[in-house]
């Protein structure tokens, strides 16, 4: 059924269609509308046989999820940014214990300085937490990925993070095709846990494991993710059969047939990039796009196969590893190991900085000319940066950088913070 | 006394069993068929009060729930000594997640059980969460308070041995004043743990007005079992705080675990009481009131109080704490004394 | 369940970890000798029979008791219960009223007609017992239990010896005495009354006895040389008490002077009081030096018996006596002061002790008699093989309980001697001292006081002075027993073991250590209320 609704609500409805049994949530922008949505459905009775728990922190949210999942309940939660960081210990624990929790991360920057706007720093910071991470390009895909995520998580007995750009997707009203309950029920069987806390068959979950078996436990976790590399496309295929849509998978190419220049990115940014590429294609540039859906497990083979024919790759990412540069780019480089392709890393959109088609166009043009440095900060205001650097050179105690910069860019911005 | 004391029976109320009682009046621990929820072979130190308290409490809970029980456990001694791969001592469904989240994990389990029961998939399965004082009064306090405030159907049991014993006897917010720990050494002008404001979590639990709060010691089994069983008659959040001596951390002989629990109660330093919905309903009276020295002396963690020049003032301050407990929790039986 | 590797484990699997290897000391269950048992002259297993009484199984308690002493109803009245003086509970509140529970069991047995255990096989041996007093009847019982044929020769007309002729009925009602005597007879013991043995060897030979146990008692009152007028009435206490059992009661007059300070003096004075006299005891030392039990002195004083302390009789006239005041010297011995006093006296009863009539032993080779009593060896045998002796006629403290104990001891040795063996008593356990108890575990429970007859009625009747306990308070009293040194299945060890290393074997079967898991923490030892667990070094 087609609906014109907010991204968060679309996700809330999709999650409800998956018949979760326990939902726990702690509010943090921009995830709030999702949990408000499911919360209301539980309270009204629209979503039956489900406990909605307002916890006191994200740490508790993930902990409650661990408990309910281990007790055999299909469990869902959502968070973002600082919230994700606050629950980190439990995030690692959920994957370590192999509990098939599904969590939405409404991607948002991490402070300080505190910033509520979108980038991918939060979920990328959990790159090595053991969770599967799927990135949605559109609200439709966000909705679809949640349905797929439960199936994937429960098949593997492993947690899955569905990442969608905060505000850009979560708060955007778009037309989505909402599946019926019958469709979802046919696709997603009831949760049959692989391990469960059951008085009839008691086990101890969460043993202390020493050097004699720790590495093996970790390897087995890796092995699960490797299995996910096969399972993710299979589930996407099954999803297409049931729902009639391409959604999910490991990677998705666009205009890749003869592309010499490939732009790689994740999430909603792909839409803007595709628009830009369309325009450049129209002007004759042999340029294509590779969207990464599955960031973890990272589909090295699929990426390598997709990039095999390219001359250069431009990775545009909404994250930044201070002190080295790109994060996604590093993984892409690993995929291209041994292939001679020029690669450029572009850090863009941090803390919600708009990524315009104009800027991208200029960027890609430069790339086509191989006129890009290895690491580019898109639309970085060098004037501001240099001013602050100058201040710091002059005065040891030059005041807080963020406040200084805000003063430089103008008071109207300062008032918004 | 929070339950009908056994009178005129040779050993009365205080022994584990009493062959002279009707079987249904005997303690769970006296039963040949007791669950032994925490099985032999665990790696707790000799004379571990926590191992004992955990078996007492969980066996009683198993008895009260007809073995329909799941436990969530915080990181700490209890977890480490009971479940090192490849063996577990637990004979009940049990999960360990993290140090600070046992209460929240238990909330999750309780929520899952509620849904599954509604769906007719399970019977009335109850949930306990358990942890040491560090996992309860410090790092797990947020989750604990949240669980209380929501009134989730969880019995949380804190085994209080007054410090981080698993990591090598460091101070926790439950470490008593003047006690020596690895992070409050008996040096300087105020040796041992400073006299702070205290953080008595049972009182904080009462402030949440949850259905049931109780304290107990491993020395008074019938009292402890009564409280666990009683806790299981309530729905919603419940809290039992059990004093469990740690021979290692307290610097005490392993055989003195019971004796020290008894002395903690008999001196008034550890008040034993029950509360419902925020109101104290009962306090277990002191049977033979003793000065705090009796409790302090056998423990090396207080040895610095009894050096060449006894720390008379510090001992007096500790006595004042005991006296305050005695007043506040009405620990003396007016009629008997 | 297809469990994830390593992080999810099978329940209770820690049994594979044998923590017993940590141990440097091991707990061991022991039985220790309770001080009451250690003290009992009759060798009763007091803690043992109290154990059964505690659960209300009085018949089992009585059967357990009568293994050692067939006369609980008598004991419960006349035994001086030194066991209670040794009782560890006295250090806690008051001693357990062992004697009162024993009496309750004895009375209960009479009331319910409980029977002693009949021997299962006969040995064919025939043993002569001379004297049907406590020692003789005790020996008769024990020997009969061992399957021997027993014949008791009693010089007097009734059974009981000193229990009848020395103890007034207000202390020991005769129906009680008769009942407990009869129960022994019912085991098949033959008794010949009014059958004084004049020559033991002759009697043994005539009757073809295989052995003899002599327990003739000490029935001859000691005389003192008191200058007396021709008409003065001087009698001895034993005769007075004996004559109380006959039709012709003694004529002592109104003012009766009793001379002596032992229990017999008290008995005779209290008897005289009940007969309407005004008895006065004349004793040469002070109350604290008096050999009589203080409670008896107290009871006598309550009843109106007068006592003249620090006095000796110098002369007895026909209606008065002259006494000399004494004073104690530095060593506590009375010394004459030369001050005299005259007391009215219709009669003087001498209670200065008793001698044994050893006439029956004339001409028996090997015998050794010293100070008027027969010497016996550790096996209660006299210098003449096959002739054993006990009770007041051998060197000993003279009381009923000791006599009963002699009977038991002699019986065991006679039995062994008849088989050509030597009876070896099982080694005594270590004493269960108070320090080994963990008294926290015992309920606070003060001793139950037995009812006493009103003084008015004590002054004029021979009704029993001290009452018994009823079932409720007898049970209470039994349950005050601390079971010193002997497991009473309180489950403490089973409960307090942090390692579940104590196996409960079930009611009556006690416990066992599971050394596979016992870490040797010692909690069970510390928390055993009765001190029945020892810690022993582990041999590594």
Q: Indicate the SS3 state at residue A23.
A: strand
For residue C8, being part of any structural domain is answered with no
* β-strand pairing of A312-317 with A342-347: parallel
What CA–CA distances, in Å, run from B255 to A92, B81, B216? Answer: 40, 19, 19
Q: Please list the ranges in chain B whose pLDDT falls under 50.
A: 1, 336-337
Q: Are residues C346 and C235 in the same domain?
A: yes
Spans of all domains in chain A: 2-243, 251-377, 382-416
Which of A204, A215, A216, A224 is the mutation pick for testing C, counting most C CBs within 10 A?
A204
The secondary structure of A240-309 as a DSSP string is HHHHS-----SEEEES-TT-SEEEEE-TTHHHHHHHHHHHHHHTT--EEEEEESEEES--HHHHHHHHTT
Q: According to the model, what pLDDT value does residue C224 have?
A: 80
CB < 8 Å to B27, chain C: 491, 495
Task: Kindly state whether B199 is in contact with chain A, defined as any CB-CB distance less than 8 angstroms.
Answer: no
Task: Kindly state whether B120 is in contact with chain C, defined as any CB-CB distance less than 8 angstroms.
Answer: no
Chain C residues within 8 A (CB-CB) of chain A? 1-11
Confidence band (pLDDT; 50, 70, 90) for C229? confident
Distance CA B300, CA C300 (A): 59
Average of per-residue pLDDT across C198-222: 95
Burial-class residue C83 by CB neighbours within 10 Å (0-12, 13-18, 19+): buried
Flag if C3 and A203 touch (Cβ within 8 Å). yes
Q: According to the model, what pLDDT value does residue C458 have?
A: 84
What CA–CA distances, in Å, run from C86 to A181, C36, C431, C433? Answer: 85, 6, 11, 10
Flag if A59 and B142 touch (Cβ within 8 Å). yes
Q: Are residues C23 and C72 in the same domain?
A: no
Model confidence pLDDT, tens digit, residues C288-326: 999 999 999 999 999 999 999 999 999 888 888 999 999
Burial-class residue C419 by CB neighbours within 10 Å (0-12, 13-18, 19+): exposed
Q: According to the model, what pLDDT value does residue A414 have?
A: 47
Long-range (24+ apart) CB contacts under 8 A made by A217-224 are A217/A96, A217/C5, A217/C6, A217/C7, A220/C4, A220/C5, A221/A95, A221/A96, A221/A98, A221/A130, A221/A158, A224/A98, A224/A156, A224/A157, A224/A158
Residues in Cβ contact with B58 at an 8 Å cutoff, skipping those fewer than 6 apart: B35, B37, B38, B69, B71, B92, B128, B130
Task: Kindly state whether B48 is in contact with chain A, defined as any CB-CB distance less than 8 angstroms.
Answer: no
Residues in Cβ contact with B213 at an 8 Å cutoff, skipping those fewer than 6 apart: B202, B205, B206, B238, B239, B240, B241, B274, B275, B276
Q: Are residues C227 and C348 in the same domain?
A: yes
Contact C395, C370 (CB under 8 A): yes
- Residue in C500, C514, C526 nearest the CB of B255: C526
Average of per-residue pLDDT across A35-46: 97
The residue from C354, C375, C397 where one domain ends is: C354
- Residue C15 to chain A, least CA–CA distance (Å): 14
- Residue in C6, C8, C11 nearest the CB of A195: C8
Token pair in block for residue C93: 């509140």
- Residue in C3, C6, C10 nearest the CB of A213: C6
Flag if C22 and B46 touch (Cβ within 8 Å). yes
pLDDT greater than 90 at residue C79: yes
Contact B58, B155 (CB under 8 A): no
- Residue in B32, B44, B256 nearest the CB of C498: B44
Which of B37, B68, B97 is the mutation pick for testing A, counting most A CBs within 10 A?
B97
Q: According to the model, what pLDDT value does residue B4 have?
A: 61
Architecture in CATH for domain B23-328: 3-Layer(aba) Sandwich (3.40)
For residue C423, being part of any structural domain is answered with no
Ranges of H-type helices in chain B? 49-64, 77-82, 102-118, 133, 141-150, 201-207, 221-231, 247-250, 257-266, 292-296, 312-328
Q: Are residues C234 and C341 in the same domain?
A: yes
Distance CA C141, CA C162 (A): 18
End-to-end CA distance of chain B: give it in Å, rounded: 15
Distance CA C536, CA C519 (A): 13
pLDDT greater than 80 at residue C216: yes
CB < 8 Å to A94, chain C: none
Distance CA C124, CA C120 (A): 13
Q: Indicate the SS3 state at residue A113.
A: coil
Q: Indicate the SS3 state at residue C19.
A: helix
- Residue in A196, A202, A209 nearest the CB of C7: A209
> A116: how many CB neighbours lie within 10 A of its CB?
18
Distance CA C240, CA B183 (A): 86
CATH topology of domain A2-243: Rossmann fold (3.40.50)
Nearest CA among B75, B147, B62 for reference residue B106: B147
For residue C42, being part of any structural domain is answered with yes
Q: Indicate the SS3 state at residue C511.
A: strand
Distance CA C529, CA C432 (A): 12
Subunits with 3+ C-beta pairs closer than 8 A to B? A, C
Flag if A204 and C11 touch (Cβ within 8 Å). yes
Q: According to the model, what pLDDT value does residue C381 have?
A: 97
Q: According to the model, what pLDDT value does residue B337 have?
A: 42
Flag if B40 and C7 touch (Cβ within 8 Å). no
What CA–CA distances, in Å, run from C287 to B5, C40, C261, C311, C393? Answer: 45, 26, 9, 12, 28
CB < 8 Å to B90, chain C: 11-12
Identical fold, A2-243 and A251-377: yes
Chain C's closest residue to B14, CA to CA, is: C441
pLDDT greater than 90 at residue C453: no
Flag if A217 and C10 touch (Cβ within 8 Å). no
Which of B41, B86, B250, B254 is the mutation pick for testing C, counting most C CBs within 10 A?
B41
Average of per-residue pLDDT across A4-28: 97
Flag if B46 and C520 touch (Cβ within 8 Å). yes
Q: Are residues C160 and C179 in the same domain?
A: yes
The CATH code of domain A251-377 reads: 3.40.50.920
Q: According to the model, what pLDDT value does residue C369 have?
A: 93
Helices and strands per DSSP (H, E), number in chain C: 18, 22
Flag if C4 and A220 touch (Cβ within 8 Å). yes
Find the helix packing angle between B102-118 and B141-150, rounded to 10°: 30
CB < 8 Å to C506, chain B: 32
- Residue B254 to chain C, least CA–CA distance (Å): 5
Q: Are residues C228 and C203 in the same domain?
A: no
Strand partners, A291: A252, A265
For residue C5, being part of any structural domain is answered with no
CB < 8 Å to A97, chain C: 4, 7
Q: Indicate the SS3 state at residue C175.
A: helix
Strand partners, C313: C323
| Rg of the Cα atoms in chain A | 22
- Residue A395 to chain C, least CA–CA distance (Å): 55
Token pair in block for residue A237: 């295929």
**Percentage of residues in chain C with pLDDT exceeding 70?**
99
3 state SS for C397-413 = CCCHHHHHHHHHHHHHH
Flag if B51 and C520 touch (Cβ within 8 Å). no
Chain A residues within 8 A (CB-CB) of chain C? 96-98, 157, 194-196, 201-207, 209, 213-214, 216-217, 220
Q: Are residues C275 and C319 in the same domain?
A: yes
Residues in Cβ contact with C122 at an 8 Å cutoff, skipping those fewer than 6 apart: C147, C148, C149
For residue C367, being part of any structural domain is answered with yes
Chain C's closest residue to B254, CA to CA, is: C521
pLDDT greater than 90 at residue A23: yes
pLDDT greater than 90 at residue C526: yes
Task: Kindly state whether B69 is in contact with chain A, defined as any CB-CB distance less than 8 angstroms.
Answer: yes
Report cis status (omega within 30 of 0) of the bond before A30.
yes
pLDDT greater than 50 at residue A416: no
Token pair in block for residue B334: 């007016």
Contact B154, B104 (CB under 8 A): no
Q: According to the model, what pLDDT value does residue B2 have?
A: 53
Q: Are residues C166 and C86 in the same domain?
A: no
Model confidence pLDDT, tens digit, residues C334-353: 999 999 999 999 999 999 99
DSSP code for B28 = G
Subunits with 3+ C-beta pairs closer than 8 A to C? A, B
Please report the beta strands in A166-265, taking only residues with DSSP state E, as ranges in sequence order: 173-177, 204-205, 251-254, 261-265
Q: Which residue has the higher pLDDT, B4 or C507?
A: C507
Flag if B12 and C517 touch (Cβ within 8 Å). no
Flag if B11 and C495 touch (Cβ within 8 Å). no
Largest CA distance in chain B: 69
Q: Are residues C54 and C110 in the same domain?
A: yes
Flag if B109 and A55 touch (Cβ within 8 Å). no
Indicate the average pLDDT of chain A: 95
pLDDT greater than 70 at residue C276: yes
Model confidence pLDDT, tens digit, residues A72-101: 999 999 999 999 999 999 999 999 999 999
Which CATH number does the domain housing residue C408 bear? 3.50.50.60
Flag if C19 and B254 touch (Cβ within 8 Å). no
Flag if B10 and C17 touch (Cβ within 8 Å). no
Flag if C4 and A157 touch (Cβ within 8 Å). yes
Flag if C4 and A194 touch (Cβ within 8 Å). yes
Token pair in block for residue A400: 């807080």
The region of weakest confidence among A223-232, B19-28, C129-138, C272-281 is B19-28
- Residue in A194, A207, A217 nearest the CB of C2: A194
Number of domain units in chain C: 4
Residue with tokens 């508790």: A60
- Total-model pTM: 0.92
Flag if C443 and B39 touch (Cβ within 8 Å). no
Indicate the average pLDDT of chain C: 93
Token pair in block for residue C436: 């080994």
For residue C503, being part of any structural domain is answered with yes
Average of per-residue pLDDT across C110-136: 95
Q: How big is chain B, counted in residues? A: 337
Confidence band (pLDDT; 50, 70, 90) for A411? low
> C440: how many CB neighbours lie within 10 A of its CB?
17
Model confidence pLDDT, tens digit, residues A158-181: 999 999 999 999 999 999 999 999
Token pair in block for residue A309: 């024919």
Domain span holding position C491: 13-31+487-537
Q: Are residues C261 and C313 in the same domain?
A: yes
Subunits with 3+ C-beta pairs closer than 8 A to A? B, C
The secondary structure of C515-539 as a DSSP string is TTT-----HHHHH-TT--EEEEE--
Flag if B9 and C520 touch (Cβ within 8 Å). no
The residue from C354, C387, C410 where one domain ends is: C354
């Amino acid at each position: 059924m087609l609906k014109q609704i907010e991204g968060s609500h679309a996700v809330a409805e999709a999650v409800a269609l998956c018949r979760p049994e326990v939902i726990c949530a702690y509010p943090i922008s921009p995830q709030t509308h999702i949990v408000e949505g499911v919360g209301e459905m539980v309270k009204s009775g629209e979503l039956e046989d489900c406990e909605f728990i307002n916890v006191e922190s994200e740490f508790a949210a993930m902990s409650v999820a661990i408990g309910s999942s281990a007790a055999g309940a299909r469990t869902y939660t959502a968070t973002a940014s600082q919230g994700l960081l606050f629950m980190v210990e439990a995030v690692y624990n959920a994957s370590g214990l192999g509990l098939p929790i599904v969590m939405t991360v409404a991607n948002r920057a991490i402070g300080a300085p505190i910033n509520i706007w979108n980038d991918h720093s939060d979920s990328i910071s959990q790159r090595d937490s053991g969770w599967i991470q799927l990135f949605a390009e559109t609200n439709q895909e966000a909705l679809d990925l949640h349905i797929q995520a439960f199936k994937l998580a429960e098949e593997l007995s492993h947690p899955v993070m569905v990442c969608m750009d905060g505000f850009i997707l979560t708060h955007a009203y778009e037309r989505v095709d909402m599946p019926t309950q019958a469709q979802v029920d046919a696709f997603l069987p009831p949760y049959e846990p692989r391990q469960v806390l059951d008085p009839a068959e008691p086990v101890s979950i969460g043993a202390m494991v020493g050097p004699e078996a720790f590495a093996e436990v970790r390897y087995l976790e890796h092995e699960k993710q490797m299995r996910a590399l096969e399972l993710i496309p299979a589930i996407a295929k099954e999803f297409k059969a049931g729902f009639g849509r391409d959604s999910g998978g490991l990677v998705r190419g666009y205009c890749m047939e003869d592309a010499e220049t490939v732009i790689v990115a994740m999430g909603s940014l792909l839409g803007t990039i595709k628009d830009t590429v369309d325009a450049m294609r129209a002007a004759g540039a042999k340029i294509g796009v590779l969207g990464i859906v599955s960031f973890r497990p990272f589909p090295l083979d699929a990426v390598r196969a997709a990039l095999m024919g390219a001359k250069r790759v431009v990775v545009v990412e909404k994250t930044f590893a201070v002190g080295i540069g790109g994060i996604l780019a590093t993984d892409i480089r690993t995929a291209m190991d041994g292939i001679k392709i020029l690669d450029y890393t572009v850090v863009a959109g941090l803390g919600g900085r708009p990524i315009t088609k104009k800027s991208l166009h200029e960027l890609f043009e430069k790339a086509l000319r191989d006129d890009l440095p290895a690491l580019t900060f898109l639309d970085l205001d060098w004037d501001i940066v240099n001013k602050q650097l100058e201040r710091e050179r002059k005065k040891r105690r030059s005041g807080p950088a963020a406040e200084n910069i805000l003063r430089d860019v103008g008071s109207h911005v300062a008032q918004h913070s | 006394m929070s339950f009908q004391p056994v009178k005129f029976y040779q050993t009365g109320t205080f022994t584990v069993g009493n062959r002279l009682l009707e079987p249904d009046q005997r303690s769970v621990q006296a039963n040949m068929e007791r669950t032994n929820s925490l099985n032999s072979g665990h790696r707790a130190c000799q004379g571990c009060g926590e191992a004992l308290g955990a078996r007492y409490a969980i066996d009683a809970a198993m008895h009260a729930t007809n073995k329909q029980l799941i436990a969530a456990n915080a990181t700490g001694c209890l977890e480490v000594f009971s479940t090192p791969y490849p063996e577990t001592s637990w004979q009940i469904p049990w999960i360990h997640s993290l140090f600070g989240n046992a209460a929240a994990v238990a909330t999750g389990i309780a929520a899952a059980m509620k849904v599954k029961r509604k769906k007719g998939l399970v019977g009335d399965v109850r949930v306990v969460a358990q942890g040491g004082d560090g996992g309860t009064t410090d790092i797990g306090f947020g989750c604990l308070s949240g669980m209380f405030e929501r009134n989730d159907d969880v019995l949380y049991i804190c085994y209080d041995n007054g410090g981080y014993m698993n990591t090598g006897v460091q101070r926790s917010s439950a470490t008593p004043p003047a006690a020596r720990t690895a992070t409050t050494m008996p040096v300087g002008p105020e040796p041992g743990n400073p006299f702070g404001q205290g953080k008595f979590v049972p009182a904080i639990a009462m402030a949440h007005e949850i259905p049931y709060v109780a304290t107990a010691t491993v020395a008074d089994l019938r009292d402890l079992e009564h409280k666990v069983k009683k806790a299981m008659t309530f729905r919603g959040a419940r809290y039992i705080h059990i004093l469990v001596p740690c021979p290692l951390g307290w610097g005490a002989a392993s055989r003195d675990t019971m004796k020290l629990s008894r002395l903690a109660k008999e001196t008034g330093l550890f008040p034993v009481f029950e509360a419902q919905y925020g109101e104290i309903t009962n306090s277990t009276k002191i049977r033979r009131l003793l000065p705090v020295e009796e409790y302090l002396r056998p423990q090396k963690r207080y040895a610095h109080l009894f050096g060449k020049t006894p720390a008379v003032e510090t001992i007096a301050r500790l006595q004042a704490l005991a006296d305050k407990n005695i007043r506040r929790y009405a620990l003396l039986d007016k009629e008997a004394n | 369940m297809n469990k994830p590797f390593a992080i999810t484990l099978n329940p209770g699997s820690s049994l594979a970890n044998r923590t017993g290897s940590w141990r440097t000391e091991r707990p061991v269950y022991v039985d220790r000798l309770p001080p009451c048992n250690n003290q009992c002259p009759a060798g009763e297993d007091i803690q043992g029979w109290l154990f059964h009484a505690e659960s209300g199984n009085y018949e089992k308690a009585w059967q357990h008791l009568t293994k050692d002493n067939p006369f609980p109803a008598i004991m419960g009245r006349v035994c001086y219960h030194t066991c209670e003086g040794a009782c560890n509970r006295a250090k806690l509140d008051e001693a357990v009223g062992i004697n009162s529970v024993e009496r309750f069991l004895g009375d209960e047995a009479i009331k319910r007609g409980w029977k002693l255990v009949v021997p299962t096989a006969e040995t064919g041996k025939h043993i002569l017992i001379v004297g049907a007093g406590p020692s003789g009847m005790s020996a008769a019982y024990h020997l009969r239990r061992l399957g021997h044929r027993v014949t008791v020769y009693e010089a007097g007309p009734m059974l009981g010896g000193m229990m009848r002729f020395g103890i007034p009925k207000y202390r020991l009602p005769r129906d009680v005495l008769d009942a407990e005597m009869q129960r022994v007879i019912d085991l098949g013991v033959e008794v010949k009354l009014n059958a004084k043995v004049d020559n033991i060897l002759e009697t043994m030979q005539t009757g073809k006895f295989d052995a003899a146990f002599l327990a003739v008692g000490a029935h001859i009152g000691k005389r003192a040389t008191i200058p007396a007028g021709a008409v003065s009435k001087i009698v001895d206490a034993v005769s007075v008490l004996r004559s109380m059992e006959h039709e012709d009661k003694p004529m002592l007059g109104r003012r009766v002077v009793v001379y002596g300070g032992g229990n017999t003096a008290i008995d005779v004075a209290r008897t005289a009081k009940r007969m309407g006299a005004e008895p006065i005891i004349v004793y040469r030392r002070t109350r604290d030096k008096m050999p009589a039990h203080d409670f008896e002195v107290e009871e006598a004083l309550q009843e109106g018996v007068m006592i003249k302390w620090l006095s000796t009789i110098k002369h007895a006239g026909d209606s008065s006596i002259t006494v000399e005041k004494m004073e104690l010297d530095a060593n506590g011995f009375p010394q004459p002061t030369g001050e005299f006093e005259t007391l009215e006296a219709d009669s003087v009863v001498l209670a200065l002790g008793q001698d044994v009539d050893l006439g029956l032993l004339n001409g028996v080779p090997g015998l050794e008699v010293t100070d008027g009593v027969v010497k016996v060896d550790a096996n209660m045998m006299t210098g003449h093989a096959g002739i054993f002796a006990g009770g007041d006629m051998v060197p000993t403290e003279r009381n009923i309980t000791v006599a009963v104990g002699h009977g038991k001891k002699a019986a065991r040795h006679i039995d062994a001697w008849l088989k050509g063996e030597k009876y070896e008593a099982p080694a005594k356990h270590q004493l269960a001292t108070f320090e080994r108890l963990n008294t926290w575990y015992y309920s606070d429970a003060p001793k139950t006081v037995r009812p006493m007859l009103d003084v008015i009625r004590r002054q004029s009747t021979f009704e029993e002075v001290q009452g018994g306990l009823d079932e409720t308070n007898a049970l209470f009293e039994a349950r005050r027993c601390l079971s010193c040194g002997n497991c009473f299945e309180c489950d403490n060890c089973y409960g307090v073991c942090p390692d579940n290393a104590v196996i409960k074997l079930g009611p009556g079967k006690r416990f066992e250590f599971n050394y596979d898991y016992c870490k040797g923490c010692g909690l069970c030892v510390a928390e055993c209320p009765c001190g029945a667990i020892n810690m022993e070094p582990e041999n590594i």
